[in-house]
Every structure is written in C-alpha cells, then in structure tokens.
Amino acid sequence: MDYTLDLGAVTRNLGPLFDGLAVTLQLTVAANIIGITAGFGLALLVLSRFALLRLPAMLFVEFFRCTPAIVQIVWFFYCVPMLFNVFLDPITMGVLALGLNLTAFNAEAYRASIQAVPREHLDAGIALGLTPAQRVLNIVLPQAMRASVPVLLTNGIGTFQQSALVAIVGVADLMYQGKTLATQTYRPIETFTIIALFYLAVSFPVSQLVGWLERRRGLAAR
Amino acid sequence: MTAIPQDAALVRITDLHKGYGAHIKVLRGLNIEMKPGERVVVIGPSGGGKSTLLRVVMGLEEIQQGSVTFAGKPYISAEGSKTRIDTEQRKKIGMVFQHYTLFPHLTVLQNLTLAPRKVHGVSRSAAEDRGRAILARFGLDAKADAYPSQLSGGQKQRVAIARALMLDPQLMLFDEVTSALDPELVAEVEAVILQLASQGMPMMMVTHDMWFARNVASRVIFCAGGVVVEDGPPEQVLGNPKEERTREFIDRVFHIKG
Ligand SMILES: Nc1ncnc2c1ncn2[C@@H]1O[C@H](COP(=O)(O)OP(=O)(O)O)[C@@H](O)[C@H]1O
Ligand SMILES: [Mg+2]
C-alpha cells in the first residue's frame, strides 16, 4: 500500500475539529446534568412502593437499557417531531436523546447503591430514634451517593463516547467534523486517528479517576 | 404467676407470637417479665428466635399477636394485622447488633452525635462534649476523629455501645455483639458491658459465651421452640438446670467449648 501519512492535512484543519469537540463536550455535559439529576428521581420511582409509580419507571429504564443507543437517537430525531409536532434544534435533540438514555442507566446505578446500604444500618437508625426521613437523609443517601460516583462517572464517559452517534443525524459534533474533514482532505486514516485520540484524551483521565476511586473504596471497606 | 403490680416491670412481654411470612413461626406465645435493674441473658439453640426476640423489643419487627409494655406503659401491641409501636417509648431503648452498624461515612464522634442532635435537638458542641466523655470512659478518646474503617472490630463494637449510650437508654439490648470478633478482641467489648452492668444498666442480651453470661447475668432465660423453657438465676440455668432440654443444651455448649 503506497499511502504516505500526512498529518499536516489534518493539523492544518484543527479549527473545525475543536469546534466539533466543543459541541461534543456541550452534549456530554448537558446530558450528564440531566442524567445525574433525573436519574436520581427515576431511581426513587423505581424503588417506590406504589406500582403506579414503579411500573412506568421500570419500563422507562428497560426501554433504554434494552434498545441500541443508535436506534434511540434515530427514533428521537425522526419520530418525536412527527409524533409530537415538536421541532427543536439538533443539539437540543441530541442532548435530550443522550440525557434520557443516561437517566435510565444512572437510575440503575442509584437504585443499586441505595439497595446496597446494609439493612442493619437502617435498624441501627431506628434504634437511635431517627425518623424515616432522617434515616434516608443521614444514613441512606450519603452512603448511596458515594457508592454511585464511580458508576456515574463511567456512565458519563459512556455518554461522551455515545454522543458520536448524533453525527449521523447531522449534529456538528467531533465525529461529524471528522467525517467532513476526512472527505475533504481524502485523509481518513490521519483524521480518524486524531479523532480517536481526541476522545481518548478526554475519556482516559476520567477512567483513571474511576479506577482510583474504586481502589480507595475497596480499601475503606475493609 | 405471682401478682406483681404492672408498674413493677421494666419490660413485660405477654403472649408474643412472631413469624416471618405465612409459614415461619419463630416465637409462639412467649412471656417474659423483666424487672428494673435486671440483666437478662437469653440463651438457646441457633435459629431459636433469640435475635427475633431482641428485635421485637427494639421495635424493629411486626408481631402477629401479644403485647410488650415498657416502664409500665403500652409499647408494642398487635392489633388485627397491624403492629402498633410507640416510637417515644422506643427511644428509651438502645441496641447493639452482631454486625457492625457504624455509619461508614461519619467519624466516630459524628456517629455518636448524630442521634442526639437530630432526635433530641442537642447542640453540636454539647453533643460532642458528651461524646468525647463517653469515648474517654471506654478508652477510645484517641479515635474520636477516626472513620469506622480505621477501627478494629472490638473498637467498632465499643463505639456502637457508646453511640447507644448517648441517648441515655433505660434498657440496653446486646445481640451477640462479640460473635463477629476475633477471639483476642472479645474481652475489651465484654469489659465495657461489665462496666455498664456494674453501674446498674438494665440489659437484655444474647451471647454464646457462657463464662461471660455467668459474669454479667442476674437472670438467664433458656429459649427454644419459640417459648421460654427455663428461667432463673444463672447458677440454676447454667449450673444446675431443672429442665432436660436446658441440660442437653448446656452440656452441648460446654462440650463444644472443650
Ligand atoms: N427476616 C427474616 N425472614 C425470614 N426468616 C427469618 C428472618 N429472620 C430470622 N428468620 C428465621 O427465624 C428463625 C429465628 O431466627 P433468629 O431470631 O435469628 O434466631 P437466633 O438468633 O436464636 O439464632 C430462624 O429460623 C431464621 O431463619
Ligand atoms: Mg441470632
């Protein structure tokens, strides 16, 4: 294969790539804000004693867990405007699609951490005279929140990576800018390698942080 | 039964029935009357309902039939399919569990001050002063700012006892508080309980340590099959039981201990 690498073709055009990265980060941060807050509310619904609250919440979670993210995004972009007559700009649509997906996954993380709080701690809370609300606030939530952090971060980087899917519906994110640049310059190898490095540069430190948090937790649990 | 006036009992358990689900019957008509100042040790075969009994007295469980009074006033009663528990009465009772229950996200001192501050509205500084004083009494003053993960099992259980004492309980419940501990750590926890006993703290406890039971108990109850089989002073129940089932159990326990 007589293909000579020419990184210059890409490095001369970093501008659009950084624009794309900015959009990708914008999607990621916004989707995470939705996922971290709404995910918690959804977890409470999933754990509700009332079937009327619990069942729809569980259905929501399962829908997002059991369908491919790309199908969710495409469905969102094409079906929501038609079904509900709602027309939003592509980035907002992307944020909502990614955010709802993350909400479902984060709800699972919160639910698992809430249920992982040992029963005996709640018994001790009763023995200490704490009211149900005080037990939730002072015993369950602090422990569950701490236990959730690594999974929330992992899900958060997952969304960062999945956000590349919105390129196929025309959102000008990092992936989209990369595709455009690769086509313009006929340099797919250089372009997509550099795109991959962009994603890696953001994900890797976060994944290291997760590893560190989990090791620290493991030590503290002894 | 001798006629003891109602207010003479600290705890009066009457015809207590308690099971889990429809099929597991654990306590089947249990009656116990505990007088103030008594230190009751409950012994019996594993799975016989000793923990269940203590958990009922702590107000942690629903019951199917019967009632419990505390300090002469109604505390727990079965009413139809509901269990009524007086939560004000419940606050007068403290409990330490077999499993470690210190809250891992709080320091030792924060574990101690949480309930006084939230439940009794004690100021932080007053609660902390009290907490440090109790920790000092138990030789734990150096651990006030440590997290539970930094403590040994024996220290954790001593802190758990200190935490319960912060609320000035009128009755302490101990459910096998040393059975999760390495053997060399048992003594330091038992010493703290003996210290409380010598100060007159009423207590009801489950233990498999017969030597400790004999040292701490003013009364021993042998529970099996969900009822009280034998009830008397430690010399009798542990030393010279009247009931055949108690005798078999005691023989077996002492044989295992070698
Ligand atoms: N939460 C529960 N659900 C169902 N069964 C239980 C529960 N807790 C205890 N039991 C059962 O009740 C019986 C008595 O248990 P327990 O009170 O722990 O006995 P002990 O403390 O004397 O060993 C056992 O057969 C046990 O399996
Ligand atoms: Mg038990």
Residue A42 included in any domain: yes
Residue B112 included in any domain: yes
What mean pLDDT is predicted for residues A42-62? Answer: 95
Instruction: Name residue, tokens 């489950």.
Output: B206
Cα angle B155-B132-A219, degrees, rounded to a multiple of 5 = 40
Please report which confidence band the pLDDT of residue A85 belongs to, taking 50, 70 and 90 as the band edges.
confident
Tokens of A157: 């980087």
Give the CATH number for residue A90: 1.10.3720.10
Identify whether the C-beta of residue B41 lies closer than 8 Å to the C-beta of residue B219: yes
Residue B223 included in any domain: no
Give the DSSP letter string of B2-69. ----GGG-SEEEEEEEEEETTTEEEEEEEEEEE-TT-EEEEE--TTSSHHHHHHHHTT-S--SEEEEE
Give the residue, by CA position, lying nearest to ligand 1 atom 5: B20
Report pLDDT for A23: 95
Q: Between A130, A134, A220, which is nearest B149 by CB?
A: A220
Fill in the amino acid letter for A104. Answer: A
Q: Do A121 and B103 touch (CB under 8 A)?
A: yes
Question: CB within 8 A of A110, min separation 6: which ones?
Answer: A39, A40, A42, A43, A144, A148
Report pLDDT for B7: 56
Cα angle B178-B184-B188, degrees, rounded to a multiple of 5 = 60
Residue A145 included in any domain: yes
Question: CB within 8 A of B36, min separation 6: which ones?
Answer: B10, B202
Give the DSSP letter string of B93-135. EEEE-SS----TTS-HHHHHHHHHHHHH---HHHHHHHHHHHH
Residue A5 included in any domain: no
Q: What is the DSSP letter of B258?
A: -
Q: How far is the CA of B47 from the centre of ligand 2 (A)?
A: 7
Q: How far is the CA of B52 from the centre of ligand 2 (A)?
A: 7
Give the number of domains in chain A.
1
Alpha carbon A77 to its chain centroid, in Å, reads: 18
Residue A3 included in any domain: no
Stated as kind and residue range, the H or E segment containing B206 is strand B203-206
Identify whether the C-beta of residue A147 lies closer than 8 Å to the C-beta of residue A154: no
Ligand 1 pocket, residues with Cβ under 6 angstroms: B 20, 24, 26, 44, 46-52
Residue A52 included in any domain: yes
CA-based nearest distance A220→chain B, Å: 6
Report pLDDT for B258: 43
Domain enclosing residue B140, as ranges:
100-169
Q: Do A138 and B114 touch (CB under 8 A)?
A: yes
Tokens of A56: 């729809």
Q: Do B105 and A142 touch (CB under 8 A)?
A: yes
Q: From the CA of B179, which ligand is nearest?
A: 2
Give the residue, by CA position, lying nearest to ligand 1 atom 18: B51
Q: Between A124, A128, A146, which is nearest B105 by CB?
A: A146
Report pLDDT for B6: 47
User: Looking at the DSSP assignment, which residues form a beta bridge with residue B223?
Assistant: B228
* Separation of alpha carbons A104 and A43, rounded Å: 9
Closest CA to B12 of B95, B76, B68, B96: B68
Q: What residue in A sits closest to B86 (Cα-Cα)? A: A129
pLDDT averaged over every residue in chain B: 93
Residue B149 included in any domain: yes
Residue B156 included in any domain: yes
User: Looking at the DSSP assignment, which residues form a beta bridge with residue B84?
Assistant: B77
Q: Do A128 and B163 touch (CB under 8 A)?
A: yes
Residue A121 included in any domain: yes
Residue B151 included in any domain: yes
Q: Cβ contacts (< 8 Å) between B94 and chain A: which residues?
A: 127
Question: B103 vs B51, B97, B147, CA distance in Å?
Answer: 21, 13, 9
B162-180: pLDDT as tens digits: 999 999 999 999 999 999 9
3-state secondary structure of A87: coil
Fill in the amino acid letter for A167. Answer: A
Which residues, chain by chain, have CB under 5 Å from ion ligand 2? B 51
A2-23: pLDDT as tens digits: 678 888 878 888 899 999 999 9
* Separation of alpha carbons A183 and A175, rounded Å: 12
pLDDT of residue B140 exceeding 80, the answer is: yes
Q: What residue in A sits closest to B93 (Cα-Cα)? A: A127
* Separation of alpha carbons A20 and A183, rounded Å: 16
Instruction: Name residue, tokens 């705890």.
Output: B11
Q: Do A128 and B119 touch (CB under 8 A)?
A: yes
B39-50: pLDDT as tens digits: 999 999 999 999
* Separation of alpha carbons B194 and B30, rounded Å: 27
What mean pLDDT is predicted for residues A68-86? Answer: 90
Q: What residue in A sits closest to B118 (Cα-Cα)? A: A130
Answer with the residue of higher pLDDT: A126 or B253.
A126
A132-146: pLDDT as tens digits: 999 999 999 999 999
Q: From the CA of B53, which ligand is nearest?
A: 1
**Count of positions (residues) in chain B:** 258
Residue B221 included in any domain: no
Q: From the CA of B46, which ligand is nearest?
A: 1
Three-class HEC string of B67-97: EEEECCEEEEEEECCEEEECHHHHCCEEEEC
Domain enclosing residue A18, as ranges:
14-221
**Count of positions (residues) in chain A:** 222
CA-based nearest distance A169→chain B, Å: 45
Give the number of domains in chain B.
1
Instruction: Name residue, tokens 């542990």.
Output: B238
- For ligand 1, pick from B52, B63, B179 the residue to mutate: most ligand atoms within 8 Å of CB: B52
3-state secondary structure of A211: helix
Residue A6 included in any domain: no
What mean pLDDT is predicted for residues B27-35? Answer: 95
Report pLDDT for A26: 96
Residue A7 included in any domain: no
* Through-space distance between the first and last CA atoms of chain A, rounded to whole angstroms: 56
Residue B199 included in any domain: no
